[in-house]
Amino acid sequence: MGDPLDPQTEMGTVANEPQFKRILGSIERAQQVGARLVTGGRRATGPGLDKGYFIEPTVFADVSNGSELAQEEIFGPVLAVIPFDTEEEAIAMANDSRYGLAAGIWSRDINRVMRVSRAMQAGSVWVNTYRALAAQAPFGGFKESGIGRERGEVGLHEYLTTRNVMIDFSNAERDPFAIKN
């Protein structure tokens, strides 16, 4: 954690004070409704962390899938751990949100990875990694996490307007309502 311009930094500061306060508010509300704070949950302190809006990496257990932590896009270093018994239950819980920006799957079973990734309602699905981005890969969410895509060839289409112009140079008289091949 530290200066986002330092190549050794894996996690930088939150973007601004309103977002910083929003994240800390989510952490506080989670505790009030019974989620168990496992680690973190406070402003981070230490060398180089006095300038900026640093929040300790935060992990919660005993989180309800209907809670704010599970249902809202926190956009901060907060992880809600929700246990499940079956693959189907995990998929149902993951898709039980009005958002669908990204999902992460950890597994050694490639068949399971393929099944689950196809079932996830998320614009990006990372397998055995997280937040891996490539300039040539499209990025964007499903549901209320946005429409359209950024980056890659697919992202370029957001800036284009396709038009079809057909010109008949024959000067021949013809029925304007007849379809011509």
Residue 71 backbone dihedrals phi, psi, to 5 degrees: -105, -15
pLDDT at 166: 82
Residue 21, CA atoms < 13 Å, CB-side half-sphere: 3
Q: What are the tens digits of pLDDT across the range 3-28?
A: 889 999 999 999 999 999 999 999 99
Please report, for the chain, how many H helices and E strands are present, in that order.
Answer: 5, 7
pLDDT tens, per residue, the chain with 181 residues: 998 899 999 999 999 999 999 999 999 999 999 999 999 999 999 998 988 999 999 999 999 999 999 999 999 999 999 999 999 999 999 999 999 999 999 999 999 999 999 999 999 999 999 988 888 888 899 999 987 888 888 888 888 888 888 888 888 888 878 877 6
Domains and their CATH numbers in the chain? 17-135 (3.40.309.10)
